[in-house]
Chain A
Amino acid sequence: MNKVAKRAWAVCILAAMLVGGMGFFVVEFTVRADKWVVTAGSPHVYNGDNINTGAVTDCNGILLLNMHDTRTYSGAESIRKSTLHWVGDREGYISAPAISRYASHIAGFDMANGLYAYGGSGGVAKLTISAQVQTVALEALGNYKGTVAVYNYKTGEILCAVTNPTYDPDNVPEIEGNPAYEGAYLNRFTQCTYAPGSIFKIVTLAAVLEELPALQEKTFTCTGTRAYGPDTITCESVHGTQSLKQAFCNSCNCAFAELSELLGGQTLKKYADAFGLTEHQSFDGIQCEKGSFQVAADAVNVAWSAIGQYNDLVNPCSFLTFVGAVANGGKAAKPYIVARAGDSYQAKTAYTEQMMDKEVAALVAEYMRNNVATKYGDSNFNGLNVCAKTGTAEFDGDQASNAMFAGFVADEEYPLAFMVCVEGGGYGMYTCVPIASKVLAACTEILQ
């Protein structure tokens, strides 16, 4: 018997395997459970691709979406349309990565209690956007496709970021094959890039002021064209002799072509990179499309690239951040959209690197301020101290130009940077300024 009894230990091997296996699982559980819970398909958090718990509100607590079961959107059509690209649709064509990112917080997950919540489930995701400003911005865009965005360059809160075309998720139109809804599933603020046109001159200007500060004292003569062999760079009109500040205000292509020769393509590229325009920018689980800046082989295209044409592309969010950095002494708060999620997530302000010297930033701001004061008109902005630059991105062929407008309010009380991109909007100054005017007015109202 003794022998057989001694051999009974063999059973312990199996017991050890079981205990070891369960131990392995417990470790895996403690490390991964928070991710398992919020993987798409997780039954208590998702319904199909959509989160099925909690609610989303704007910065003032206005309900944008109740995510339970069939998803209940805001009662107002204008709010439904203007916020759709942040909260997502029912079918999963428009995803809401920022909300998915905080799903476990919204669902209220913690290791001990899982998703248990007394009497129900789900927390609130509070966004930084204002439903009111969103509505104003979408209205201001009218039938144009494009995006309008405003953010606080000191805190990083995105106060407004609308995209058009959009649609009412409670009354989905026929989108497939309908040109009016082309690209309706895209959030143009994060997922698109635009040829910047003249707003890119802010980049070139900053590079010049950093690299060749002496040029501030120099004058530039514009004859309306600048020849590069058979090719020419042209201006809409003859600007004559002008200072750098005036050339920037006139958005003089010839002067900036000359500047591009002094800087060279490589230097421009260095600054485009340093300003974060050629990198993916990320926030709240959203990866923005990255812009591009190609160093052209020939001088004429280097010149075009310095004035926002050639192969230049910028992402609205990245460019907005860059403008924010100009406003904020060369270093901006990074934009974010989710202010709070459940009880466990609270957004914190993060900053970009120091993109440019403080003095350079101040100078660029001063030049941009001059644009508004002397050209765009302070009256458009209801007394706000706005610094900005318009742009018109031209395309080959018949395609209408994109109207662009980027700038900021230099005011401690309203530290707002803005970006307006209007596809086929023609001249930035005529199309975008009124839009920016309305949206900034709405923003200041909210902030008061």
Chain B
Amino acid sequence: MEFVESLQNALPTYINVFIAVFRYAAPVLALLILARAILPLLRFRREPEIWAWLCFDDGKKIPITHWENVIGRHKNSDVVLDLATVSRNHAVLTRYDDGSWTIADVESVGGVRVNGKKVSIHAIKPEDVISIGGVEMQLQPISEKQEKRLAQLRTKASSYGTSFANVVLLSVFQALCCIGYLMTGEGRYAASYLIGFGGILLCQWLLFLFYSFIRRPAFEVETIAFFLCTMGMCAICTVVPGEAVKQLLAMVLGIVIFLVIGWSLRNLERAKMIRNIAAVAGVAFLLATMALGTVVNGAKNWIFIGGISFQPSELSKLCFVLVGASAMDKILTKRNLMMFIVYSVVICGCLAVMQDFGAALIFFIAFLVIAYMRSGSVGTIGLALTGLGFAGVTALRIAPHAVQRFKNWRHIWQDPWGFGWQQTRALMCMASGGFFGLGLGQGWMKNNFAAESDIVIATIGEEWGLLMVLFLVLAVVALALFSVRCAPMGRSSFYTIGSCTAAAILLAQVILNALGTLDVLPLTGVTFPFVSNGGSSMLCAWGLLAFIKAADTRQNASFAVRLFKGRAGAKDE
């Protein structure tokens, strides 16, 4: 307590020296933290996991490297059988959590025969002979021993030491931020600063300890998320310090959601079941908003219950990712995306009625990614984009506030005292901050509307500099690239689609938030994931992170991927 008081009563000289040093130290520290977290994500060696061997008559053996494998003539099949009798996508070989396998005919011409009998789906037993287009083969799952050995041979994702150092660096950064705010901020908010930064610090240590306990040393993705949350906390401490505790609670809840979703995704069958609940919940959230919601800034996207405000559309995003993700056999048999398109139209329709066009656009981008990953059809995407064009025109007709934003786009300097007020102030303040910022708490942006949410990057740019803004953006880009890099080792398309969609949503939000604020794109009231003040947005961001985490198949990397402990079903054998 004495220490806090001494900080609050620090001489101006000490404060000035602190700011002078920290404004350079902060980006350096940030770069160090992010580089340590990002580089392993972008550089890890991509080793396929081998789950089984497919043995042919001629003695040839092909490794099966996913849980879902397409057998077909198409050159991008996982097992290519280049014979006229084989359909382009002929069959899907699927592995389950318990180590059992099935083979499923995916509407092939020639059909799939097991032991001479035509099957549509069949649980493979040892000795079963599978015949596809006249080619006979046998599946030889790796033994438990081999599986264990393979698992051990895979390069480790990260060491406890590295992750520990990351958490220490983060903690140093947070401590310095907290000291800075205690020195420069208002005395009555001391508790907010302490709880805000201290809370994040505590959470990251608890999560790291928990990971150590369950033997998952990789902490890169979490480091990035906690760093973004810290910068968000800085913006809140500058603009609305009274809301620091609220935001911290949202983060704690977000981490809970992160763990719950991650845990749900550990078991693919469980995840597939949850999907149906998610589908209903996704629409229910939006319908509830339509029924009970309040219009804020032209969009009816808030629910106020007992003093708590809430944006259910953020949670709908999580549901949408779950609904959109799909396993390979379903993708190939239900070629048309009709159900998913209808579902997407319902969601976007709800959002249009709520006039929440920012959210609608994000859902649409998620839809595009899902639709493309599932169908591979550029034509479908073209159609969807055309549809968006029409919807957009209609939307602009019925929503004057959206039209105005389009009109203001790239014209903000024509009226810096009128419609361009918010954004010109954002750019003026960012320019005032230069590359290194004016120092924490020294900005003017706190007087601007939505300074800690929709235009948060201007607040950060002003006080922490343009470099810090670029770091924040690149951190999210790194998360997305990580998802893309993980895709080839994906066990199931369910995870890969989920992870890529989650990454796409995060990217879309940053695109709309950052580029909107900076007048590169029209301004849309969208939050910057993890950074913007807003509980619902925080929950959503952590939830999306769980999907990215679930696709991380590096050795001992992800709590959302089971460690090899012996198969559940093995005991019975």
Partner of B434, one of A25, A26, A112, A119: A112
Number of interface residues of B (CB under 8 A): 75
Would you call B77 an interface residue if the criterion is a C-beta within 8 Å of the partner chain's C-beta atoms? yes
Provided the pairs A12-B484, A39-B416, A39-B424 are in contact, do residues A119 and B504 lie with their beta carbons within 8 angstroms? no
Chain B, range 94-129, C-beta contacts under 8 Å to A: none
For residue B481, which residues in chain A have a CB less than 8 angstroms away from its CB? 12, 15
Is the beta-carbon distance between A21 and B520 smaller than 8 angstroms?
yes
Chain A, range 1-17, C-beta contacts under 8 Å to B: 1-12, 14-15, 17
CA–CA, A21 and B372, complex, Å: 23
CA–CA, A40 and B497, complex, Å: 49
Nearest residue, chain B, Cβ from A118:
B20
Is the beta-carbon distance between A114 and B431 smaller than 8 angstroms?
yes
Is the beta-carbon distance between B490 and A25 smaller than 8 angstroms?
no
Chain A window 18-52, contacts with chain B (Cβ cutoff 8 Å), 1 for yes, 0 for no? 11011011101100111011011111110000000
Is the beta-carbon distance between B484 and A8 smaller than 8 angstroms?
yes
Is the beta-carbon distance between B436 and A1 smaller than 8 angstroms?
no
Provided the pairs A15-B480, A18-B514, A26-B470 are in contact, do residues A115 and B331 lie with their beta carbons within 8 angstroms? no
Q: Which of B188-196, B278-286, B352-360, B505-513 forms part of the interface with chain A?
A: B505-513
Nearest residue, chain B, Cβ from A14:
B507
For residue B68, which residues in chain A have a CB less than 8 angstroms away from its CB? 1
For residue B500, which residues in chain A have a CB less than 8 angstroms away from its CB? 8, 10-11
Is the beta-carbon distance between A19 and B417 smaller than 8 angstroms?
no
Chain B, range 397-441, C-beta contacts under 8 Å to A: 413, 416-417, 424-425, 427-439
For residue A114, which residues in chain B have a CB less than 8 angstroms away from its CB? 431-438, 465
Is the beta-carbon distance between B416 and A40 smaller than 8 angstroms?
yes
Partner of B515, one of A11, A18, A34: A18
Is the beta-carbon distance between B507 and A11 smaller than 8 angstroms?
yes
Chain A window 373-385, contacts with chain B (Cβ cutoff 8 Å), 1 for yes, 0 for no? 0000000000000
Is the beta-carbon distance between B376 and A9 smaller than 8 angstroms?
no
Is the beta-carbon distance between B490 and A36 smaller than 8 angstroms?
no
Is the beta-carbon distance between A3 and B438 smaller than 8 angstroms?
no
For residue B476, which residues in chain A have a CB less than 8 angstroms away from its CB? 18
Would you call B38 an interface residue if the criterion is a C-beta within 8 Å of the partner chain's C-beta atoms? no
Is the beta-carbon distance between B480 and A14 smaller than 8 angstroms?
yes
Would you call B12 an interface residue if the criterion is a C-beta within 8 Å of the partner chain's C-beta atoms? yes
Nearest residue, chain B, Cβ from A9:
B484
- Distance between A166 CB and nearest chain B CB, rounded to angstroms: 28
Nearest residue, chain A, Cβ from B78:
A2
For residue A5, which residues in chain B have a CB less than 8 angstroms away from its CB? 487-488, 490, 496
Would you call A111 an interface residue if the criterion is a C-beta within 8 Å of the partner chain's C-beta atoms? yes
Chain B, range 509-535, C-beta contacts under 8 Å to A: 510-511, 514-515, 518, 520-521
Nearest residue, chain B, Cβ from A7:
B373
**For the side of the interface on A, what is the size category?**
35 or more
Is the beta-carbon distance between A42 and B428 smaller than 8 angstroms?
yes
For residue B340, which residues in chain A have a CB less than 8 angstroms away from its CB? none
Nearest residue, chain B, Cβ from A119:
B16
Chain A, range 85-137, C-beta contacts under 8 Å to B: 109-116, 118-119
Partner of A29, one of B67, B374, B430, B511: B430
For residue B483, which residues in chain A have a CB less than 8 angstroms away from its CB? 8, 11
Provided the pairs A1-B490, A41-B416, A116-B434 are in contact, do residues A7 and B372 lie with their beta carbons within 8 angstroms? yes
- Distance between B53 CB and nearest chain A CB, rounded to angstroms: 16
For residue A17, which residues in chain B have a CB less than 8 angstroms away from its CB? 507, 511
CA–CA, A43 and B520, complex, Å: 22
CA–CA, A17 and B20, complex, Å: 35
For residue A29, which residues in chain B have a CB less than 8 angstroms away from its CB? 430-431, 466
Is the beta-carbon distance between B511 and A116 smaller than 8 angstroms?
no
For residue B492, which residues in chain A have a CB less than 8 angstroms away from its CB? 1
Is the beta-carbon distance between B66 and A1 smaller than 8 angstroms?
yes
Is the beta-carbon distance between A118 and B497 smaller than 8 angstroms?
no
Provided the pairs A26-B470, A112-B435, A119-B12 are in contact, do residues A1 and B429 lie with their beta carbons within 8 angstroms? no
Is the beta-carbon distance between A2 and B70 smaller than 8 angstroms?
yes
Provided the pairs A3-B376, A114-B433, A114-B434 are in contact, do residues A18 and B511 lie with their beta carbons within 8 angstroms? yes
Is the beta-carbon distance between A14 and B365 smaller than 8 angstroms?
yes
Partner of A2, one of B77, B434, B491, B514: B77
Provided the pairs A39-B416, A41-B417, A113-B434 are in contact, do residues A21 and B466 lie with their beta carbons within 8 angstroms? no
CA–CA, A42 and B448, complex, Å: 12
Is the beta-carbon distance between B507 and A36 smaller than 8 angstroms?
no
Provided the pairs A10-B500, A43-B428 are in contact, do residues A21 and B328 lie with their beta carbons within 8 angstroms? no
Is the beta-carbon distance between B496 and A8 smaller than 8 angstroms?
yes
- Distance between A16 CB and nearest chain B CB, rounded to angstroms: 9
For residue B508, which residues in chain A have a CB less than 8 angstroms away from its CB? 14
CA–CA, A129 and B484, complex, Å: 66
Nearest residue, chain B, Cβ from A29:
B466
Is the beta-carbon distance between B504 and A11 smaller than 8 angstroms?
yes
Provided the pairs A1-B69, A1-B328, A40-B416 are in contact, do residues A111 and B434 lie with their beta carbons within 8 angstroms? yes
Is the beta-carbon distance between B496 and A39 smaller than 8 angstroms?
no
For residue A44, which residues in chain B have a CB less than 8 angstroms away from its CB? 428-429, 432, 438, 444
Would you call B142 an interface residue if the criterion is a C-beta within 8 Å of the partner chain's C-beta atoms? no
Which residue, of A109, A110, A116, has the highest number of chain B Cβ atoms within 10 A?
Answer: A116
Is the beta-carbon distance between A1 and B496 smaller than 8 angstroms?
yes
Would you call B447 an interface residue if the criterion is a C-beta within 8 Å of the partner chain's C-beta atoms? yes
Q: List 27 A-B contacts (CB under 8 A).
A: A1-B65, A1-B492, A2-B77, A2-B78, A2-B488, A3-B70, A4-B331, A4-B490, A5-B487, A5-B490, A6-B487, A11-B483, A14-B504, A15-B507, A17-B511, A18-B507, A18-B514, A26-B466, A29-B431, A33-B434, A37-B428, A39-B424, A41-B428, A114-B438, A115-B432, A115-B438, A116-B434
Seen from chain B, the residues whose Cβ lies within 8 Å of a Cβ on chain A are 12-13, 16, 20, 23, 65-70, 74, 76-78, 328, 331, 365, 368-369, 372-374, 376, 413, 416-417, 424-425, 427-439, 444, 447, 465-466, 470, 473-474, 476-477, 480-481, 483-484, 487-488, 490-493, 496-497, 500, 503-504, 507-508, 510-511, 514-515, 518, 520-521
